[in-house]
């Protein structure tokens, strides 16, 4: 008998082909273990959908609050290059991108090829961006303000730029909720489902639809 669970992402109506897509993941470094698992789950699904390793760019920022800015910069870097903008414009955008820290150890996709000082891979357009963060509620109102700002910021970026932006941000009330949604839960409920997998699938689906519909 099939699983009676009604929550979660059902399989897509068709399998989307990601073999021609370039996807950027930009992740926060706060709550490191959770982030690592989410990024890994995302990359695994992207590859399962055919996205090539060399077309997955991974960048990092300190916290989730920085995700909307970094997402916008990544999208604009690609668009400026592809629209033959003046070299000075390209330089100024890649300078801004160098604010994005890529020095921490990340899954193997984040290697020298996507160094921010190398404008090559960054300045080719991305078909979708997956910002990944994990906000865990503390004792002040900080959580509520950042959740609100990041959610609206990411939505604004995708509507303004026309590039699909996935909502890869966990907003958890406690550590266990976050761990469970990263597939590394430690309660009697089990490890849980890695939501990064859903984000990888959503990115390929949205990139394909964006191509068909625009
Ligand atoms: C400051 C802060 C706190 C308290 N909690 C989190 C969190 O749970 N998840 C997260 O991604 N970032 C957190 N941050 C950092 C902010 O997102 C941001 O990096 C700083 O306020 C600097 O702008």
Q: Is residue 183 part of a domain?
A: yes
> 9 lies in a domain?
no
> Cα of 65 to ligand 1 centre, how many Å?
6
Protein residue with least CA distance to atom 5, ligand 1: 135
Residues 6 or more apart in contact with residue 209 via CB below 8 angstroms: none
Q: Residue 68: CB partners within 8 Å, gap ≥ 6?
A: 131, 149, 150, 153, 154, 156, 157
- Interval between CA 126 and ligand 1 midpoint (Å): 26
Ligand 1 in reach of 136 Cβ (< 6 A) = yes
The predicted pLDDT at position 84 comes to: 58
Mean pLDDT, residues 66-85: 84
133 lines ligand 1 (CB under 6 A): yes
**Is this complex scored with an ipTM above 0.95?**
yes
Q: Which of 29, 30, 62, 154 to mutate to test the pocket of ligand 1 (most atoms within 8 A of CB)?
A: 30
CATH number at residue 111: 3.40.50.960
Task: Using pLDDT thresholds of 50, 70 and 90, give the confidence band for residue 78.
Answer: confident
107 lies in a domain? yes
**What's the gap in Å between 103 CA and the centre of ligand 1?**
18
Residue 92 lies in a domain: yes
Quote the domain boundaries for residue 167.
Answer: 35-213
Q: Which atom of ligand 1 is nearest to the CA of 63?
A: 19
> Ligand 1 centroid vs 13 CA: distance in angstroms?
37
Does any domain span residue 209?
yes
User: 17 CB contacts (<8 Å, ≥6 apart)?
Assistant: 49, 50, 204, 208
- Between the alpha carbon of residue 118 and those of residues 74, 97, 157, the distances in Å are 13, 10, 24
Domain count, the chain: 1
Could you list the beta-strand ranges (E) of 151-195.
168-172
Q: In 63-174, which ranges are continuous DSSP H helix?
A: 67-82, 87-97, 119-122, 142-161
Q: Does residue 142 have its Cβ closer than 6 Å to ligand 1? A: yes
More confident residue, 117 or 39: 39
Residue with token string 């489902």: 193
21 within domain boundaries:
no
If one counts every other C-beta atom within 10 angstroms of the C-beta of residue 100, the result is 18
Q: What percent of the chain has pLDDT over 90?
A: 69
For the segment 200-209, the average pLDDT, to the nearest whole number, is 97
Taking only the tens place, the pLDDT of each residue in 132-187 is 999 999 999 999 999 999 999 999 999 999 999 999 999 999 999 999 999 999 99
Q: Is 4 inside a domain boundary? A: no
Ligand 1 atom closest to the Cα of residue 28 is 11
Q: Is residue 12 part of a domain?
A: no
In this predicted model, what pLDDT tens digit does every residue of 86-112 receive, in sequence order? 555 444 444 445 544 343 334 443 444
């Amino acid at each position: 008998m099939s699983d009676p669970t009604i929550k979660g992402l059902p399989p897509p109506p068709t399998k989307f082909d990601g073999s021609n897509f370039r996807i950027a993941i930009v992740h926060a470094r706060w709550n490191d273990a959770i982030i690592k698992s989410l990024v890994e789950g995302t990359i695994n699904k992207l590859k399962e959908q055919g996205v090539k390793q060399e077309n997955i760019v991974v960048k990092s920022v300190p916290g989730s609050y920085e995700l909307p800015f970094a997402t916008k910069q990544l999208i604009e870097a690609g668009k400026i290059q592809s629209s033959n903008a003046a070299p000075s414009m390209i330089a100024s955008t890649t300078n801004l991108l160098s604010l994005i820290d890529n020095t921490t150890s990340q899954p193997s996709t984040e290697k020298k090829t996507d160094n921010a000082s190398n404008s090559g891979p960054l300045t080719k357009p991305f078909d979708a961006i997956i910002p990944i963060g994990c906000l865990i509620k503390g004792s002040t109102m900080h959580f509520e303000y950042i959740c609100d700002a990041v959610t609206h910021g990411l939505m604004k970026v995708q509507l303004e730029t026309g590039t699909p932006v996935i909502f890869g941000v966990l907003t958890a009330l406690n550590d266990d909720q976050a761990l469970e949604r990263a597939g590394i839960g430690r309660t009697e409920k089990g490890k849980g489902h890695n939501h990064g997998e859903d984000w990888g699938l959503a990115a390929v689906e949205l990139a394909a639809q964006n191509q068909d519909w625009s």
